[in-house]
Copies of this chain bind each other. A is one copy, B any other.
């Protein structure tokens, strides 16, 4: 049970040793041994990632999505616009850039609504979710190794599409739930 205060030291693990088993461009993977609160030890496999931004983009009565192939899942997923944070980039800058690249969106103000780890059991990837306020649509300008279709869905269809399982990734489910609540759909 909760101790009712903010001292969680009885839950803490300490890294005893770490081996960097993969040093990629997108992820770094460590195989680590940790000391447990009871004095025992355990293995941990940890994926380090620079984080990402994702965007709630609504224009008029429609919400913007992108359809893209994901080799990791071998599927064509319907996701909200998103992108990895590059080295030296602030999340706010990535958000402006990705909105323009993926759907041609230009927003008067990008407001951060949530931030969350996507899989804290093994990864530190953190997603900053923004809402694009007063967005207008200009031209898409994709990266050279990026292939995606823009898909617009009517706000009035979002609840049904969510229940039917049209949205198959966490950030997109969160964004759609947010829009449904905001617009009382």
- CB pair B71–A169 under 8 Å, yes or no, is no
**Nearest-neighbor residue (CB-CB) of A10 within chain B:** B147
User: Whole-angstrom distance from the CB of A10 to the nearest CB of chain B?
Assistant: 7
Chain A 144-185 per-residue mask, 1 if CB under 8 angstroms from chain B, else 0? 110111111000000000000101111111100110110000
- CB pair A147–B177 under 8 Å, yes or no, is no
- Residue A84 lies at the interface, judged by CB distance under 8 Å to chain B: yes
- Residue A11 lies at the interface, judged by CB distance under 8 Å to chain B: yes
User: Whole-angstrom distance from the CB of A138 to the nearest CB of chain B?
Assistant: 14
Q: Which residues of B contact A76 (CB under 8 A)?
A: 8, 11-12
Bound-complex Cα distance A68 to B2 (A): 11
How many copies altogether? 2
Q: Which residues of B contact A147 (CB under 8 A)?
A: 10-11, 36-38
Bound-complex Cα distance A151 to B8 (A): 12
- CB pair B120–A70 under 8 Å, yes or no, is yes
Task: Kindly identify, within residues 7 to 36 of chain A, every residue whose CB is under 8 Å from any CB belonging to chain B.
Answer: 8, 10-13, 15, 21-22, 24-27, 29, 31-32, 34, 36
- CB pair B149–A11 under 8 Å, yes or no, is yes
Task: Kindly identify, within residues 31 to 87 of chain A, every residue whose CB is under 8 Å from any CB belonging to chain B.
Answer: 31-32, 34, 36-38, 40, 42-49, 52, 67-77, 79, 82, 84
Q: Which residues of B contact A133 (CB under 8 A)?
A: none
Q: List 5 A-B contacts (CB under 8 A).
A: A11-B149, A32-B71, A44-B72, A116-B167, A117-B168
